[in-house]
Amino acid sequence: MTSPNEKPVVAIVGRPNVGKSTLFNRILRQRAAIVDDVPGVTRDRLYAEAEWSNRRFVLVDTGGYVPESNDLMEQAVREQVQYAMDEAALILFVVDARSGVTTLDEEIARLLSRSQKPVLLVVNKVDSHVQETAVYEFYALGLGEPFGVSAAEGRATGDLLDRIVEKLPETAEQEEEHTDEAVHVAVVGRPNVGKSSFVNAVLGEDKLIVTEIPGTTRDSIDTRVVYRDRDLVLIDTAGLRRRSKVRESLEFYSTVRTHRAIRRSDVVLVMVGADEGLTSQDKKILEEVISERRGVVLVINKWDLLQHDADLANRYRELLEKELRIYRYVPIVFTSAKTGRGIRRALDTAVEVWEERQRRIETARINEFLQEAVTAYPPPAYGSKYVKIKYASQVDTNPPVFAFFCNIPKGIKAPYRQYLENRLREKFGFRGVPLILTFRKK
């Protein structure tokens, strides 16, 4: 697994609460990062593609940098900022015009000076000409000319983008061509079931913060990789809790963003902790993914915590299938992000499910299936009338949509719909793929 050719990376770094995420959103012209008055909101690096003056680059938002803290979370953020600086072609060092030069700014400036990476010193919160004189104070950091902006108001951000493009290295504007579009795979589940650890195991490197603190990932993080010649975009998301437990606005926005990640994915890996089993909340997450008609794989992670023999896996699978009932078509994969067990199988299954979403069945074959199905079990009568399904065809893919033409569409009730879906799956597969069955008047 290797990363495809990348556009130049521009990393936004700085101490907590100087407006890095606000600047990130301003450049992208959308609310892509969570912005809150609480310092330390952004933890993982958040990637997004930006464009200015026909130049494209990858913008990276990072957590607030605290160089000498012993706090576990701040240490993890510090590692992420260091990683972002290592991969960046240009670093935007953001400081606060209102608070002036701080000791922490000076420490970060010394670190950036040693990095020998191009640095653009951005003085944020210059909301009017009154604050402009404060910009000159930042010459003391020794990083060249400071550039005053107001990310919140949009003041001078266009000029800042001109400066960014000027400083970007000249690169050949060529992208690796892929015959197929990237498969977007979201990793969702309750907090602390190992989602970020799973993505790290895929990448083979610590690109996401992984700690034992539930709720570490707050934003949805996209990572593009190539796996078995297939272009994948892995979307790591914040853990989903029951809505009654989502109290603070910050966690609420994380939950909203997770739901958005589900909607923009092709396949969703619903991750469950093997030590806890399938909870009611896991079932609700699964139901949401299916209601959005996304491909789905149930991933039982932390399998290393149990006696992971084949017999136990089979018994575990049987219990899960009983609980899933009408969702038995969802494939189940056992993984251990800690040991790497089952990681490739999970990705293989995700790609297989994506391919199933693209399938189109010939109309002749569908009508052969229909004849067999109605002969074995005719539709129940509707009042005094017989319900007859004349023919059927597949009218769409991704997700697959099947249209059944009959004399009394409202006479097809839920049990018979489920019967037809089950027979469709027996005949044609569609493993892990929610199907849409519509009934129309002939």
Domain ranges in the chain? Answer: 9-167, 183-357, 363-441
pLDDT given for residue 414 in this prediction = 93
pLDDT given for residue 317 in this prediction = 81
**Alpha-carbon gap, residue 321 to 316, rounded angstroms:** 9
- Tokens, residue 307: 């006696």
CA distances for 360 relative to 328, 355, 357, angstroms: 22, 10, 9
pTM of the model: 0.65
Q: Regarding the domain delimited by 363-441, which CATH topology (the fold level of the hierarchy) does it fall under?
A: GMP Synthetase; Chain A, domain 3 (3.30.300)
Side-chain-side CA neighbours of 14 within 13 Å: the count stands at 29
Q: Do 303 and 320 contact (CB within 8 A), yes or no?
A: no
Instruction: Report the Cα–Cα distance between both ends of the chain, in Å, rounded.
Output: 51
The domains spanning 9-167 and 183-357 adopt the same CATH topology: yes
pLDDT given for residue 226 in this prediction = 85
For the domain spanning 9-167, the CATH number is 3.40.50.300
Q: What would be the CATH architecture of the domain defined by 183-357?
A: 3-Layer(aba) Sandwich (3.40)
pLDDT given for residue 36 in this prediction = 55
Q: Which residues contact 117 (CB under 8 A, 6 or more apart)?
A: 85, 88, 89, 90, 91
Q: Which residues contact 375 (CB under 8 A, 6 or more apart)?
A: none
Residues of the chain with pLDDT under 50: 1-5, 172-180, 246-253
pLDDT given for residue 366 in this prediction = 96
